[in-house]
Amino acid sequence: MSDDRQDGAAHREHSSTHSIGLFISDIDGTLVRSDKTLAPATVAAVKTLTEAGMPVSLISARPPSGILWIVRELCLAGPFGAFNGGTLFDSDGTVIVHRSLEPEVAEAMVGLVLEAGITCWVFAEGQWFSTDIADPHTEREVKSAGIEPTFVGDFRGRLALVDKIVGVSDDHAVIARLESEALALVGDRATVARSQPYYLDITAAGANKGDGVARLAAAFGISLDAVAVIGDQMNDLPMFARAGMSIAMGQASDAVKSQAVYSTASADENGVAAAIARYVLPGW
C-alpha cells in the first residue's frame, strides 16, 4: 500500500497558494471497489467534504446510466462527466453537453475493432450494442453501465451519434496494438485510450478527462489550479496533467503513479477516503 508523494511528478506539485475548491473522482478502480460497490468509508468521506461545503463531482468512461445511482447514494448535485467527459449531465439525468464521434470516424473505428477479431461494444443514444453478449466482461459491464447490452450482427444504421466504442480483449498486447493503430488512423479526430488493460475506449475528440475536468471546473466556477482529481488508469492522465492536485490509486501502474502528485491506498483499501482525509480536506 502506498500513501506517499510521487517524486517523479514534483513539477506538478500542488501549490500551497491555491486551496482546493472542487474534488473530482474517477469511478471504476477508484471510487468503487472491485465488486463495483461503494465502501461505507468512501460514502462517509464524501459526505464530510460536501458538509464542509466543498463540491464533489465524478468523471468516468461510464454512460450516465452507470453514474446516476452513485450520484444519488452520495447526494451530489452535479454536474458530472460521462464517456470520459464527452457528456456532462445533472443529477436528474439532464444532459448539458454532448459530444459524439463523427459518423465516418465511428465507422472506421468499428471496422478496426472488428478486423482485430475481438468483441466490439458501441454506446449510442442511451443504448449499448455488442457483437458478443457472452463476452466474459459483459456481466461486470452491466454493473458499470447500468443497462443491458443488445446483440447485433453489424452496426449499420447505429453509428450516427456514437458516444463510445470499446474494443474488448483479455489479450492486452492486442489492445495495445489496436490503440496504436487507431491513433494512427484517426489522429486528433477522436480520443483513444485504455480505460482498463482489456478495454480500448474510443470517444469524440473533446471527450477526454482533461477537457472534461476543465468543463466541470468551469461549470462550478472553480479554477483548475483549485481542482483535486483522483484516478487509476491511463485515461485519467489527461486530468492529472490539468488539475492543481492529482492523486493516483494504490493499485495503479507505475506509469500512472509517476504522473500524479500523490498516491493513496487501493480502491479495495478505501483509497479515496484516505486521500480525502490526508490531501483534500487539509487544502480546503
Q: How far apart are CA 108 and CA 125, in angstroms?
A: 19
Q: What type of residue is 24?
A: I
Per-residue model confidence (pLDDT) at position 284: 77
Looking at per-residue pLDDT, the higher value among 13 and 56 belongs to 56
Give the model confidence (pLDDT) of 128-158 as tens digits: 999 998 999 999 999 999 999 999 999 999 9
Give the model confidence (pLDDT) of 67-98 as tens digits: 999 999 999 998 999 999 999 999 999 999 99
Whether this model's pTM surpasses 0.85: yes
pLDDT band at residue 195 under the 50/70/90 scheme: confident
Q: Does domain 7-98+208-283 have CATH number 3.40.50.1000?
A: yes
- Asked if residue 79 has a cis previous peptide bond (ω within 30° of 0), the answer is yes
Per-residue model confidence (pLDDT) at position 69: 96
Per-residue model confidence (pLDDT) at position 18: 58
Q: How far apart are CA 22 and CA 148, in angstroms?
A: 33
Give the residue extent of every domain in the chain: 7-98+208-283, 103-204
Pick the CATH number of 103-204 from 1.10.3720.10, 3.40.710.10, 3.90.1140.10, 3.30.1240.10: 3.30.1240.10
pLDDT of 4 strictly over 70? no
